[in-house]
Amino acid sequence: MTSLTSMCELACQLVKKNLEEKQLEEEQAVCNAPLRKEDV
């Protein structure tokens, strides 16, 4: 069984990865539709 610290590290990495992907998607959406910034 893995230690608690390694579990926390894995969770942190997953959260960080998800946040980065979310930011990329939002940036791409803004770049592809600059006129719709007000809708966001």
pLDDT band at 18 (very low <50, low <70, confident <90, very high): very high
pLDDT at 16 over 60: yes
Please check whether residue 40 is in contact with residue 30, taking contact to mean a CB–CB distance below 8 angstroms.
yes
pLDDT at 27 over 90: no
pLDDT at 8 over 60: yes
